[in-house]
Amino acid sequence: KQEVTQIPAALSVPEGENLVLNCSFTDSAIYNLQWFRQDPGKGLTSLLLIQSSQREQTSGRLNASLDKSSGRSTLYIAASQPGDSATYLCAVLRSNDYKLSFGAGTTVTVRA
Amino acid sequence: DAGITQSPRHKVTETGTPVTLRCHQTENHRYMYWYRQDPGHGLRLIHYSYGVKDTDKGEVSDGYSVSRSKTEDFLLTLESATSSQTSVYFCATSAGLGGQETQYFGPGTRLLVL
């Protein structure tokens, strides 16, 4: 069974600091990994999708890396802003059944 | 947004009553999913559909049933609601199976079972 862990569960940083969010998974047989953002009371919005053959993916201030062999992904958010305050979830797509396994998320607060 | 709506957005019900949640999409996506989200847990897949009248179980399907009679609608039914089914329910859609392509999520339904 695929287990996805995100540590820490919560993070508070001052505006302008770079954010580093971690995701680990137990089974390296994945098709891809996605990072999502969830605002309070809202659904999830996809931020980045990394295929298993890729090492990283970038979108604006966001950069996600993937080390499939060690079961780790990191989401970097450069020069954080108060608008980046949200919960960030990672999810891995299992190769055997094409179902997503989600982590519990890291709740980020960026202080102005 | 991918044009996904969920109804109702909030519901309070009593133990033992049936409850139906509706997901409606305007993207003509083939695949639709129902997840539940609980504190300390990630989203967990309840059921999914890979076409009209084609559905399959997820990892937490006990006590839930689904139906899909049209491409745009996916219904989740709690046959006899229990307090353990108090949760936030999310519908999602995708053009490709699972996460091969991005999944798009609805705003969620908060369900409280008393």
Pairwise CA distance, residues A69 & B61, whole Å: 31
Q: Residue B107 is encoded by which pair of tokens?
A: 């705003």
What residue in B sits closest to A2 (Cα-Cα)?
B59
**SS3 assignment, position A82:** helix
Mean pLDDT on B86-105: 85
Percent of chain B with pLDDT over 90: 82
* Strands annotated E in B1-114: 4-7, 10-13, 19-25, 31-37, 43-51, 54-57, 64-70, 73-78, 87-94, 104-105, 109-113
Other beta carbons within 10 angstroms of residue B110's beta carbon come to: 14
Mean pLDDT on A68-85: 96
Q: What angle do CA B53, B82, B33 make, to 5 degrees?
A: 30
For the cut 60, the answer to whether the pLDDT of residue B1 exceeds it is no
pLDDT for the residue B46 = 96
Q: Decide if A106 contacts A21 (C-beta within 8 A).
A: yes
pLDDT for the residue A97 = 76
Residues of chain A in Cβ contact (below 8 Å) with chain B: 4, 31-32, 34, 36, 41-46, 49, 89, 91, 93-94, 97-105
CB contact under 8 A, B100 and A99: no
Mean pLDDT of chain A: 94
Residue A94 confidence class, pLDDT cut points 50, 70, 90: confident
More confident residue, A43 or B41: A43
Find the length of chain B: 114
Enumerate the residues of chain A whose CB falls inside 8 A of the CB of residue B43.
44, 89, 91, 100, 102
Pairwise CA distance, residues A110 & A29, whole Å: 34
More confident residue, B101 or A51: A51
Shortest distance, CA A34 to any CA of chain B (angstroms):
8
Closest CA to B44 of B30, B61, B32, B56: B61
Mean pLDDT on B18-47: 93
For the cut 90, the answer to whether the pLDDT of residue A98 exceeds it is no
Shortest distance, CA B28 to any CA of chain A (angstroms):
19
Enumerate the residues of chain B whose CB falls inside 8 A of the CB of residue A32.
99-100
Mean pLDDT on B52-71: 94
Q: Does the CB of B99 have a partner CB in chain A at under 8 Å?
A: yes
For the cut 70, the answer to whether the pLDDT of residue B100 exceeds it is no
**SS3 assignment, position B8:** coil
User: How many cross-chain Cβ pairs, A to B, lie less than 8 Å apart?
Assistant: 64
Mean pLDDT on B16-43: 93
Closest CB to B106 among A43, A99, A104: A43
Enumerate the residues of chain A whose CB falls inside 8 A of the CB of residue B98.
31, 93-94, 97-100
Pairwise CA distance, residues A111 & A63, whole Å: 21
Greatest pairwise CA separation for chain A in angstroms: 44
Q: Decide if A85 contacts A110 (C-beta within 8 A).
A: yes
pLDDT for the residue B42 = 82
